[in-house]
Structure 1
Amino acid sequence: MSSNKHLDFIENDLNELKEKGLYKNIKTIESPQGAWVNIKGKKVLNFCSNNYLGMANHPRVTDAAKNAIKDYGVGPGAVRTIAGDMDIHQKLEKKLAEFKGVEAALSVQSGFKANLSAIPSLVGKGDTIISDALNHASIIDGSRLSRAEIKVYSHNDVNELEEILKQNPPGKKLIITDGVFSMDGDIAPLPEIVELAEKYGAMTLVDDAHGEGVLGDSGKGIVDHFGLHGRVDVEVGTFSKALGVMGGCIAGSKQIVEYIKQKARPFTFSSALTVPDTAATLEAINILSESDELVLKLWDNAEYFKQGVRDLGLDTGGSETPITPVMIGDAKDATTFSERLFKEDVFAQAIGFPLVPQGQARIRAMISAAHSKEDLDFALDKFAKVGKEMNLI
């Protein structure tokens, strides 16, 4: 116990998390991210990474980072408003805009920072945010920072969304949704959301973190997937998932992107994306622009694994994407399932409250284009073994 009595609550809370099976035991990776990784000298099949396309250790991507360091060094020196733009950032933003089919894009340090930049720039006190109940934590935090009134509609419920819009909430109205929901793998009904926004005079912001590199032509994202170019005001994204690097972006019209660039505190008060991350991201987008081979392999792997899990009698929820939740229910059972999988050389984390609602704990299997069919068969065998041992199948 802590010797400082006023800090004893920390020890108590940590013990309570452990008792409920919610304590996060973070494993140490000793190798590059890939289909298999090394953890404490043990080679395990990796089902935990958002590295959808295997870009995190792609030779062209790593070579781009190395070469950029030779030309530019490592860091940007300071915030861009003081130290100036490096042309590599401008090249990336031009390429991003071309890839996304928008007028302009702005790179920031992470997908989380992208929401913290965009949302408080667009709305403030006296305005209204209308947000999906399962939106990512970065949307929740960005919305709170804006000081706008926040109204939440039930997950993907466009009827409830319209009821809120009918009430004509005050000030500017901003509808925010994830494109792909990270814990369930389902897709937002973006066409209906956009139609309601246009009908009631609201702005739209979609966080496409799990859609970029996954949905649309060559992974251009959810707006491309639904053919909504020019009708979504702001697209927020990340480089840390399908692109395998680190960073985030905000994309839209020149006017909106410039406005956010002028207003966003994370952009104004935080140094720019590092040189190797910028160069690596640029090369990852080049690869996607040249071929849809990796995206097609990702989807083929996802469909193969999901069907295999269902054939075992396990529930994959309402997933429509490569995110594959294997529903367990109880958080302790999910943790036990994960631990037993790890003993069988499968690294697949349990997800419980507060990341998902109470009673909906699951193993979230993240499928990648880097996986082979043999990898997926290996995993299915282990899921079957552990599921039978735990009387879940």
Structure 2
Amino acid sequence: MHDFTQDLAALGASSLLRTRRVVAGAQGPLLDVDGRTTLSFCSNDYLGLANHPEIVAAGVRAADEYGMGAAASALISGHSMAHETLEHDLAAFTGMPRALYFSCGYMANIGVIGALVGAGDAVFLDRLSHASLIDGARLCGAQLRIFPHNNIERLEQVLARSKARRKLVVTDAVFSMDGDLAPLAELAELCGRHDAWLLVDDAHGFGVLGPQGRGSLAHAAVSAPHVICIGTLGKAAGVAGAFVAGDGGLIEWIMQRARTYMFSTASPPLLAAATSASLAIIARDQWRRARLTQLAAQLAQGLAGLPWQLLPSMTPIQPLIVGDNAGARALAQRLREQAIWVPAICPPTVPKGTARLRISLSAHHTPEHVAQLIGALQQAAEDLP
């Protein structure tokens, strides 16, 4: 039997060994981490909704009505009225004919891709797509073609040459490690001309971008029958789960064929009810998105001139490129010693030589919180040899 001790040691020597930290209490800008109050810039709770009292109350009411577990898959007896209501709410929120609720984004991406394409088909994948999209494309059995990041010209070339029965173009809407946006309008037009589906993973744009936070497709003014949206509900929405939205017949087909949906116990109904409450708050509270814009501008101004590059991003994802793994880990550790938590992201999550701090902003951060982070990074830069 293989002993993984040496493999783990090799990860540690390369500054690639991941660790977990124990968080007590509810999510927020200040966390109790290993018994110490810590200023957090590592959460995807972009709108500050994970502990919102209206959402918590909706979940508690649903727990009283439905109990905790769904007890079966959705296609047996696990699909509750709370799930049904949420799917109608998600369709209306995204402006799509129909939506289908999954237990998590990873399962949604794998299940949807596998339901749409297989042997004899082709998937065209942006090089910087999320791991779940990569895994879904590899597992589905279709031919996989990877095109350079956001390179419309290259994608058009490979689409034009493809003789596949069905063609599926797959991309993130907001790329989770760089914070940049996919050119969705151009992608949708290109896919329409080449008779291809466009699958957009809007994990980091849903709730943040577009009018009333309705997502990246709304932000880009894209609406077409061949466009499919996948969104996650554990980030800006502050709850859990994921969904796919699109043409009614297409969603029915996915429900019939997505193995990660068919063969999984449905999520607890209380999560569905809590998410419906979250959607109403997302649409209502424009101040949350305005706060994110203000904080991002403050951060960019405060970090200008430092030896590390802050990538341009109009989203809460603010990557600070350090370069080497050890340097990124050391900078994150220095911040941790000052009770500031910003994760260091290293290969293989990002390309070699681009290790970074991934600063995540939340509407519950204050200007004072961001100023504290800026001050700590400025001091670290001054102390460099």
TM-score bracket for this pair, using the shorter chain length? over 0.9
- Secondary structure in structure 2 of the residue aligned to 1:56: coil
Which residue of structure 1 lines up, in the alignment, with residue 249 of structure 2? Answer: 255
Q: Following the alignment from structure 2 to structure 1, what is the Cα–Cα distance between the partners of residues 64 and 384?
A: 53
Which residue of structure 1 lines up, in the alignment, with residue 215 of structure 2? Answer: 221
Q: Confirm or deny: 8 A CA contact 1:223 1:232 kept in the other structure.
A: no
Which residue of structure 2 lines up, in the alignment, with residue 3 of structure 1? Answer: none
Which residue of structure 2 lines up, in the alignment, with residue 197 of structure 1? Answer: 191
- Secondary structure in structure 2 of the residue aligned to 1:75: coil
Residues 1:7 and 2:2 aligned together: yes
- Secondary structure in structure 2 of the residue aligned to 1:15: helix
Which residue of structure 2 lines up, in the alignment, with residue 50 of structure 1? Answer: 44
Q: Following the alignment from structure 2 to structure 1, what is the Cα–Cα distance between the partners of residues 22 and 306?
A: 31
Q: Confirm or deny: 8 A CA contact 1:298 1:322 kept in the other structure.
A: yes
Q: Output one character per residue of 1:211-235: Cα deviation in whole Å (capped at 9) or x when no partner.
A: 1011101111111001112355210
Q: 1:311: how far off? A: 4.7
Which residue of structure 2 lines up, in the alignment, with residue 349 of structure 1? Answer: 343
Which residue of structure 2 lines up, in the alignment, with residue 129 of structure 1? Answer: 123
Q: Confirm or deny: 8 A CA contact 1:180 1:187 kept in the other structure.
A: yes
Q: Output one character per residue of 1:233-263: Cα deviation in whole Å (capped at 9) or x when no partner.
A: 2101100110111101000011111110011
Q: Following the alignment from structure 1 to structure 2, what is the Cα–Cα distance between the partners of residues 307 and 225?
A: 25
2:132 partner amino acid: S
Q: How many correspondences in the alignment? A: 385
Which residue of structure 2 lines up, in the alignment, with residue 303 of structure 1? Answer: 297
Q: Following the alignment from structure 2 to structure 1, what is the Cα–Cα distance between the partners of residues 305 and 366?
A: 19
Q: Confirm or deny: 8 A CA contact 2:72 2:266 kept in the other structure.
A: yes
1:230 partner amino acid: A
* Structure 1 segment 304-343 matched on structure 2, within 5 A: 304-312=298-306, 314-343=308-337
* Structure 1 segment 162-241 matched on structure 2, within 5 A: 162-230=156-224, 232-241=226-235
Q: Output one character per residue of 1:325-353: Cα deviation in whole Å (capped at 9) or x when no partner.
A: 11100001100100110001110010000
Q: Following the alignment from structure 1 to structure 2, what is the Cα–Cα distance between the partners of residues 390 and 34?
A: 31
Moved segments of 4+, more than 4 Å: none
Structure 1 range deviating more: 162-171 or 257-266? 162-171
Q: 1:306: how far off? A: 2.3
Which residue of structure 1 lines up, in the alignment, with residue 142 of structure 2? Answer: 148
Are residues 350 and 79 of structure 1, via their aligned partners in 2, closer, same or farther at CA, if it must alter by over 3 Å?
A: same
TM-score if structure 1 supplies the norm length? 0.96
Which residue of structure 2 lines up, in the alignment, with residue 376 of structure 1? Answer: 370
- Secondary structure in structure 1 of the residue aligned to 2:377: helix
Q: What's the Cα RMSD here?
A: 1.2
Q: Following the alignment from structure 1 to structure 2, what is the Cα–Cα distance between the partners of residues 303 and 288?
A: 22
Q: Following the alignment from structure 1 to structure 2, what is the Cα–Cα distance between the partners of residues 16 and 285?
A: 45
Q: Following the alignment from structure 1 to structure 2, what is the Cα–Cα distance between the partners of residues 319 and 288?
A: 21
Q: Output one character per residue of 1:305-340: Cα deviation in whole Å (capped at 9) or x when no partner.
A: 222222545311243322011110000110010011
Q: Following the alignment from structure 1 to structure 2, what is the Cα–Cα distance between the partners of residues 343 and 246?
A: 31
Which residue of structure 1 lines up, in the alignment, with residue 154 of structure 2? Answer: 160
Q: Output one character per residue of 1:45-80: Cα deviation in whole Å (capped at 9) or x when no partner.
A: 110100000111111111111111011101111001
Are residues 310 and 232 of structure 1, via their aligned partners in 2, closer, same or farther at CA, if it must alter by over 3 Å?
A: farther
